[in-house]
Homo-oligomer: A and B are copies of this chain.
Amino acid sequence: MYKVKDISLAEQGSRQIEWAELHMQTLMKIRERMSKEKPLLGIKISAVLHVTKETAVLMRTLHNAGAEVYLAGSNPLSTQDDVAAALAQDGINVFAWKGENEKEYYDAIETVAKISPNLVMDDGGDLHALIHDKFYSPNIIGGTEETTTGVVRLKAMEESGVLKYPVIAVNNAFTKYLFDNRFGTGQSAIDGILRATNIMIAGKVVVVSGYGWVGRGIASRMRGMGARVIVTEVSPVRALEAVMEGFEVMPIREASKIGDIFVTTTGNINVISVDDIMQMKDGAILANAGHFNVEIDVEGLKRASKNVRNIRPFTDEYLLPNGKRVYLLADGRLVNLAAAEGHPSEVMDLSFANQALSAEYIVRNRNLKKAVYNVPDEIDNQVAELKLSVMGIKIDQMTQQQKEYSKQWKYGT
C-alpha cells in the first residue's frame, strides 16, 4: 500500500539509498543484527519523517527487523520522490510526494495515524498530537521523537498529565545533538554559503552570532578555512569561552562594521537588525544557520531596501538607502538546508541509529511509565561503539582494577 509520485523512479531512488547506506554503516550494522534477531516482529510502526534517502535507510532497517512500517512525510517539500518510490517497492507503506498541498499533507499523516500502530515515530510532534486527539489505542507501546520542538510539546503534555504512552526523546542523545549541531551544521553551513556565493573564505572576516554547539562548529570550521572569525554572544560565560579559544568577541553593532560574512546561530529573533545591516560594508553577505528564519530581520530589510534582485540561486541583493548592497542567502532560512543538502548521511547515521535502538528498547521494556525519556546511556554508548567499530577504530576497556578505582574514591597527594 503506497501513494507516491512515480513508482518508476524506484531504481534511481534505490541508487540514492545505497549511497546513503554506504555512509550510514552504524545503522547498517544494527540492521544486520536486527535482520537476524527480528526484534520488531509483529510490530506496526506509524512514522512521520522527512522522506529522504537517509530516512529510507532507517525504514529498511525497521522493515528488516520485522516491523510493518507506515510512513508519511514531515514536510510537504522535503520528500525525495525517487526515494519514496524505492521504499514503496521495498514493501514500505509510504504516503508522500514532493509538493503535497496542505490537505494532502494532513491526509497522509492521518493515513499512517489510523493503522492502529504499536510504535509512533515522529519528527515535530504532529503525529503524536493527532494520535492523542483522534487515534489513540491501547495497542500503542510507545514512541520516539526526533526534534527539540516535538520534545517540548510532549513534555508539556506530560506535565499536563495527558501523555498516553512513553516517548523517547532521540534528540537528547549525546551522539545525536552534539555531533549533529557541531560537526553536521559546522560543515554544511559552509557548504551552503560556498554553493550560494562561490566566494573565497580565506582572508574574510566572518561574524558568527551565537557560540552554542552550532556556533562553535561554524566558528571552528571557518577558522579552518582561513577566515578571521568574530563571535557575538549574550552569555558572558560562552563569550569568555570563545575568547579563550582565540576568537574575537564584540557586540554585533561593532562587528557589523567589519564583517564580510555574517552567520546567525542563536535560536533567537532579530539577532541582526536593520540598524546593524545599515552599518555593514558594501557587499556584506548574510546567512542564517539557526533553526528559524527570524534571526536576521528579513522583513525589516525588505521594507528598508530600495531594490531587491536575485543574483545567483539563493543569493539576493538588497540595495540599501545608503547606497550599499548586502546579499541575503536563502531568504534567511537555514542556509545548509536551502543552499546545500543539509546534513551529510554520516550525521543522520548516528541520529537514526538512536531511533532504531530506541524503538527496540521500547518494545523490550513494555512497562515504561507514560513519560518523556532521554535516550538511555547504554544506547548512546552503543551507538558510539558501533560507529567506532565501523570506522575500524578500537578503544580501551577499563580493567577490573580501574573499575574499582573509579568507584572508590582515593585520597592521595
Proximity string of chain A (186-209) to chain B, C-beta cutoff 8 Å, 1 when within and 0 when not: 110001001100111111000000
Which residue of the partner chain, among B178, B183, B233, contacts A200 with CB atoms under 8 Å? B183
Distance in Å from the Cβ of A218 to the closest Cβ of chain B? 12
List residues of chain B with CB within 8 A of the CB of A175: 237, 240
**Contact (Cβ within 8 A) B292 A410:** yes
A187 touches B203 (CB 8 A): no
Chain B min CB distance to A76 (Å): 10
Q: Which residue of B lies closest to A384 (CB)?
A: B236
- What separation, in Å, do the CA atoms of A221 and B309 have in the docked complex? 33
A294 lies within 8 A of chain B by Cβ: yes
Q: A391 an interface residue at 8 Å Cβ cutoff?
A: yes
List of B residues within 8 angstroms of A312 by Cβ: 19
CB-defined interface of A282-309 with B at 8 Å, one 1/0 digit per residue?
1100000001111000000000000001
Contacts A239-B395, A387-B240, A395-B236 given; indicate if A152 touches B409 (C-beta within 8 A): yes
A325: chain B residues at CB < 8 Å are 22
Closest to A260 in B: B391
Are A187 and B174 in contact, with the CB atoms below 8 A? Answer: no
Q: Within the assembled complex, what's the spacing in Å between the Cα atoms of A291 and B186?
A: 30
User: What is the CB-to-nearest-CB distance from A57 to chain B, in angstroms, rounded to a whole number?
Assistant: 14
**How many identical subunits does the complex contain?**
4
Q: Assess whether A250 is interfacial by the CB under 8 Å rule.
A: yes
Q: Please measure, in the bound complex, the distance between the C-alpha atom of A271 and the C-alpha atom of B392, giving whole angstroms.
A: 22
Count chain B CB atoms within 10 A of each CB in A200, A250, A346 and give the residue with the most: A200
For residue A50, CB closer than 8 A to chain B, the reply is no
> A residues near B, CB below 8 A?
15, 18-19, 22-23, 75, 149, 152, 174-175, 178-179, 182-184, 186-187, 191, 194-195, 198-203, 221, 223-229, 232-237, 239-241, 243-252, 254, 258, 267-271, 281-283, 291-294, 309, 311-312, 315, 325, 333, 340-341, 344-347, 380-381, 384-385, 387-388, 391-399, 401-402, 405-406, 409-413
Tell me, in angstroms, the Cα distance from A187 to B294 when the chains sit together.
30
Query: Judging by beta carbons under 8 Å apart, are A237 and B174 in contact?
Result: yes
Judge whether A237 and B200 touch: CB under 8 Å.
no
Asked if A243 contacts B391 (CB within 8 A), the reply is yes
Q: Which residues of B contact A201 (CB under 8 A)?
A: 187
Residues in B whose Cβ lies below 8 Å from that of A268: 398, 402, 405-406
Top 6 closest A-B pairs, CB basis?
Answer: A224-B224, A236-B384, A200-B346, A200-B344, A236-B385, A292-B412
Contacts of A236 in B (CB 8 A): 381, 384-385, 387-388, 395
What is the minimal beta-carbon distance from A27 to any residue of chain B, in angstroms? 14
Residue among B227, B251, B270 making CB contact with A401, cutoff 8 Å: B270
Complex interface: chain B residues within 8 A of A258 (CB): 392
With a CB–CB cut-off of 8 A, which chain B residues contact A241? 178-179
A352, chain B: closest CB distance, angstroms: 14
- In the complex, which of the residues B200, B346, B410, B412 contacts A187, with contact meaning CB atoms closer than 8 Å? B200
Residue from the list B232, B233, B391, B396 in contact with A252, Cβ < 8 A: B396
What is the CA–CA distance of A117 and B395 in the complex, to the nearest angstrom? 50
Known contacts A228-B248, A234-B395; 6 further A-B pairs (Cβ under 8 A): A182-B244, A224-B224, A226-B245, A233-B395, A236-B395, A268-B398
Contact present for B395 and A251 (CB under 8 Å): yes
Complex CA–CA separation, A195 to B193 (angstroms): 12
Query: Do residues B252 and A226 form an inter-chain contact, with CB atoms below 8 A?
Result: no
A200 to B186, CA, bound (A): 10
Report 29 cross-chain contacts, Cβ distance below 8 Å, ordered by A residue.
Answer: A19-B311, A19-B312, A23-B283, A179-B241, A179-B244, A183-B200, A187-B201, A187-B226, A191-B195, A191-B198, A198-B345, A199-B346, A202-B244, A203-B246, A223-B224, A224-B224, A229-B246, A233-B396, A235-B381, A236-B388, A249-B395, A251-B396, A268-B406, A269-B402, A270-B402, A271-B402, A292-B412, A294-B405, A294-B410
